[in-house]
Every structure is written in C-alpha cells, then in structure tokens.
Amino acid sequence: MIYVAQRPASALNVILHGLTVMTQDAQFFYVYLPNVPGHATAVGSFGFEQLILPTPGNNTLQLTLNVPGWPAAGAQFQGPDAKTDIVVPVPSGSTFRPDSQSVCCVKLPRTDILRVSVAPRNGTPIFENGAIGQEPDPIPYIIAFPYRYTDTPTLTDAEGNHYFRSMWPQPNLHIWSTQPFAAGPLHTQDELSSFNAMFSTSPGLKGTAATFAANNPTLPYGVNLIEIQTIPELMRNAMGAQPMEDGRAHCFPMWVG
C-alpha cells in the first residue's frame, strides 16, 4: 500500500533529486543540473519526466517555472543556511560560471526550503580537508520548494515550449540528475569534479569514503512517498541493486554563495 499525502487545493511542490547546484537572488532560486559523465537529467511530472540531453557547444537549456499568484504580497522567505544545507563559498579570486558546465538551468520563484530526506553524518566529514568549513548535520538529500497558485503553473523555455503543467493526479514538478545504474566511489568523484569545473578556480571538493543513510522522509503536503525516489532509483531497487542512499553518497543539493 502506498501512503498518499493530503494534497491541499492549488498546491505545487518542486522536488529536487540528486546533484543539483543552486544560487539565489532577491526574487529567484536558480537550479543548475551539471553535465556529469554517466548522469541522466530530467524535469517534469513524476513518471513522465522529460530527459534533458547536453547540447552541442554546451548551451545550457534555460527553463522558468511560472506560478500565477505567487508569491503573496509581502511574503518573505529564508535562504539556505550552512547549518542545514551544503553551502560552498566561491574561492577567493574565482568566479562561478555554471552555464558552460550545465545541461539545464531551472529558474524558480523564491519560496521556503523543505528538507524532505536527510541523512545524519554523526560527525563524519562529507568532504576531505574541511573544504567548505561548516558542514550540515544532518545532510539534506532531497529538498522541496512549496508553492500555492491561482492558475495552472507551467515550466517553459525561452520559446514558450512547455516541459511541465501542474495537473492532478501528478501535480508536482520533479527535477533530477542521477546515475541510472548503481554508483560507486569513482562516480562520486565524477560528480564533484563536474561541480568543481563550474568555477574559474576550482574549490577542490573531494568526497570522503563515507556513505550516509537517509532517514524516513518528512513528506510535504501533496507529496506521495513513492515520489521521494527517482525513476532510475526505483528501477535499481526493483532489480535488487545498490541501495539508493549508497548510490548517491555524495549526490545531493548544493548551494553556491
């Protein structure tokens, strides 16, 4: 039996899976999907996501989430916090240049940050040599951005092509970047190497040998338990392959700032 969370009227959750790299300004969050060897990236309704492939010349696909009626007048939202999120500072003398190393960028209106699935690290370092200073404990593996709307939310590119419409019974937008098959330590470093390449001077992130097991998720309103996994993870688990938390040991949402 699948537990189905209550869906409030006019509710949308944007759920991030795997290695996503984010920045922010006063009005928007920007979610970049790095071009990682062996990764599959996709956006859309659960089970109906559209695969996003790298384009010649590394031209990043730019998508924008349109949420009519959001935000409400006077709404204020907290950004990421190094105590609860992986926040990587830009190295001195470096610049963050994600477009040349990303398959896709999704522009989202600012909202709250819900840490849906987290993994305690119990003092075990995430990165070698204290590369980012403060590390969160627990580690967020899956995060969600909640919205309320007055008309159907859509995800479109610059030409107005639609990649998503929020419609029942699959109202939520999923964004994922993950390994379709079981991943190991070498792939972990592929992910972090792709992240490091997004800077003019690399921050030099290198993962430790540790793996972190996620606790039972805290489901936002309108999110089903099955949605906390990506389609590749469901396929791996169905085949008895590597557990999802081991397969994404260093594959989580990261903020730059």
Residue 227 domain-assigned? Answer: yes
Give the model's pLDDT for residue 40.
Answer: 87
Give the model's pLDDT for residue 245.
Answer: 43
Residue 5 domain-assigned? Answer: no
Residue 56 domain-assigned? Answer: yes
For residue 102, count other CB atoms closer than 10 A to its CB: 26
**Number of domains making up the chain:** 1
The dihedral formed by the CA atoms of 53, 54, 59 and 62, expressed in degrees to the nearest 10 = 30
Q: Which domain holds residue 226?
A: 11-256
Give the model's pLDDT for residue 247.
Answer: 41
Give the model's pLDDT for residue 3.
Answer: 41
For residue 66, the cross-strand partners are 154
Q: Is the dihedral of CA 151, 29, 161, 144 positive or negative?
A: negative
Residue 239 domain-assigned? Answer: yes
The residue type of 223 is V
Give the model's pLDDT for residue 179.
Answer: 76
How many residues can be counted in the chain? Answer: 257
What does the alpha-carbon distance between residue 188 and residue 251 come to, in Å, rounded to a whole number? 7
Residue 83 domain-assigned? Answer: yes
Residue 24 domain-assigned? Answer: yes
Ranges of residues in the chain with a pLDDT under 50 are: 1-7, 243-248
State how beta strands 20-24 and 11-18 pair.
unpaired
Residue 169 domain-assigned? Answer: yes
Residue 155 domain-assigned? Answer: yes
What pTM does this model have? 0.90
Give the model's pLDDT for residue 1.
Answer: 39
